[in-house]
Amino acid sequence: MADPRKSCECHAMVAVSCGARGTDATQSNVCQSTVHRSWIAKTFHWIVAGVFAPPQTGARDAHSVPPNRKRLRELTRSRKRTASRVGLVVAIGVLDAAIAQTKPARPVSSDQVRRGEYLARAADCISCHTANGGAPYAGGLRLDTPFGYMLTPNITPDPDTGIGRWSANDFYRALHDGVNKRGADMYPTMPYDFYTRITRADIDAIFAYLRTVKPERNAVDVNHLDFPFDIRMSMIAWRELYFTKGTYTPDPAKTASWNRGAYLVEGLGHCSACHSPRNLLGGFEKDKDFTGAGIDGWFALNLTSDVTTGLGAWTVNDIATYLKTGAGKTTPVGPMAEVVRNSLRYLTDTDLKAMAEYLKSIPADSSVLADRNGPDPTRAQGAALYSDHCSGCHQANGRGISGVFPQLAGNGVVLASDPANIFKVVLGGIPALGKYTAMPSFASQLDDHQIADIANYVRTSWGNTAAPDATASMAAKFRRP
Ligand code: HEC
Ligand code: HEC
Ligand code: HEC
């Protein structure tokens, strides 16, 4: 059996490839996956919808003020001229170049830089802004969309090809408003619809940290989208409909740690970008937040407090441990493994507990869960196949062996409203992770019908009450990369 970890530290089945990143522990291996790409594919469906949909004024937050684009562009033009005239040379980590254009230089403290590094981890900037095998933050990761592709920009402090000439204000505007230094609207492939909630002080700290990253000369031509999506103006409708800028405001009725958790989950962590379903126009329906959503063939599980499909049966400590190590009531087997590896494992226990506290407060909702169908005639077949191929490890009663083989009874991966992850796991296997050994791939031993039967069997056995809605054609789909 091929060991997927030979080719890459990450999961082969997420079609990942990653390069060695040198020896610096803080910039350790970064694994890229297609995760963010498919998210982007989704985004572009929204853009199409946004381009052709009439602006809906009601969709905007009453407190938000539409950005005065004209004024912003004028400001940008004049600032750009100043920058080229002055011809600034940036002393990395010491001078905030563009503030120097307008205000006296503000020294950057090492404390601020350290905080910025931590926050950049929490926001997982590195996953998108690093190409496979490329220098950290030097950009160039290809994000495919159905309408052409984008390459992520270089955000190292190189003055010509990176953000070396950006001011703290430019940087704040990019993260908070989604407008780049040239004054153009950015595509929401850059998750500024979440980053807008980050405070000014924290964005400044991330900026200070990025100034200390090794400048890399890497000119990236970002936009390779097809007409008309290559025109940034096409973003205006999307923004009108779905983008509400505004910094996170703490809820005084809640504890400080709840607020910290909300800030990390809703802002920096952009967890809902994967875990919340979107409507046809690509907007989030507030009442369905965190109920789970498909992403790159995987299913980002329900994070509400629903007892069977969500985190209802997890304690705050269970959740915090999962986020830190990947070990828990389920194990991250797909995109979430990458989030843990590149981002969450660097966070403090206090912050992870705060995130867990916030997640635990999300009311139970299993509305995405499909209705349960009647008994399935293929159940006996599924039971026999399970007994032959799976029970040796996961046990006939689905309880697994504590610490060795995860239990499938009451397992969120198995119970998810979408059976995608079962197909992925059975077809692709799982490399050893945390406390667990590897799980073999069954792609060559089982055909599509058999896999669907097993999936339905595990979804409906030992008290599991997910819909037996796995089909052979779904399995066939997951066989093809
Ligand atoms: C999901 C992928 C993704 C993540 C995560 C992400 N970015 Fe981006 N970022 C992009 C893409 C794509 C663009 C290009 C957007 C455009 O030009 O419309 C971009 C653009 C930018 C730009 C503008 C650069 C330029 O030259 O125009 C900055 C600055 C930036 N990102 C900083 C960050 C920081 C800081 C973080 C973490 C807090 C971050 N990004 C996280 C994908 C991402
Ligand atoms: C040789 C032992 C072994 C066999 C046989 C096996 N598994 Fe697994 N399975 C594992 C291990 C070990 C893990 C956890 C791997 C990890 O997370 O690193 C796992 C994980 C899983 C998961 C993900 C659970 C989670 O919490 O993320 C599912 C679903 C699963 N197996 C289903 C099956 C099915 C269905 C079969 C039969 C077709 C099967 N397994 C056969 C060892 C096995
Ligand atoms: C790139 C997409 C993506 C992002 C971003 C993401 N997740 Fe996930 N998450 C997933 C997927 C997919 C799964 C299930 C399959 C797997 O393990 O990859 C998952 C699983 C989980 C689980 C396990 C749930 C269960 O019932 O077993 C938890 C808890 C979780 N994520 C929390 C978070 C938190 C908190 C954040 C934000 C800091 C986050 N996720 C960000 C994709 C994502």
Domains of the chain: residue spans and CATH: 14-242 (no CATH), 251-360 (1.10.760), 379-479 (1.10.760.10)
Angle between helices 448-460 and 472-479 (to 10 degrees): 120
Give the mean pLDDT of the chain: 75
Question: Which ligand 1 atom is the nearest neighbour of the CA of 170?
Answer: 29
Rounded to 5 degrees, φ, ψ at 354 are -65, -40
**Are 285 and 279 spatial neighbours (Cβ–Cβ below 8 Å)?**
yes
User: At 371, is the pLDDT very low, low, confident or very high (cuts 50, 70, 90)?
Assistant: very low
First and final CA of the chain: distance in angstroms? 19
- pLDDT at residue 347, as a whole number: 98
**Residue in 43, 190, 270 to alter for ligand 1 test, most ligand atoms within 8 A of Cβ:** 190
**Which ligand 2 atom is the nearest neighbour of the CA of 436?**
18
Beta strand residue intervals within 146-185, DSSP E: 148-151
The CA-CA-CA angle for residues 32, 36, 41, to 5°, reads 140
For atom 41 of ligand 2, the residue with the nearest CA is 390
Tokens of 289: 């937040």
Helix and strand element counts for the chain (H, E): 20, 5
Distance, in Å, from the CA atom of 172 to the CA atom of 429, rounded to the nearest integer, reads 42
Closest ligand to C-alpha of residue 387 is 2
Task: Give 87's Cβ-side CA count (13 Å radius).
Answer: 1
Query: What is the reported pLDDT for 176?
Result: 97
The CA–CA distances, whole Å, from 7 to 11, 15, 16, 332, 470 equal 9, 11, 9, 19, 30
pLDDT of residue 73: 30
CA of 373 from ligand 2 middle (Å) equals 25
The pLDDT score that the predictor gives to residue 99 is 33
Angle at 338 between CA 115 and CA 429, to 5 degrees: 160
Please tell me if the CB atom of residue 271 comes closer than 6 angstroms to any atom of ligand 3.
Answer: yes
User: Is residue 347 lining ligand 1, measured as CB closer than 6 Å?
Assistant: no
pLDDT tens digits for range 372-406: 333 445 677 888 899 889 988 898 888 888 777 88
* pLDDT for residue 23 is more than 90: no
pLDDT digits (tens, 9 = 90+) for 60-118: 222 332 333 232 232 222 222 222 222 222 222 223 333 333 333 456 789 999 999 99
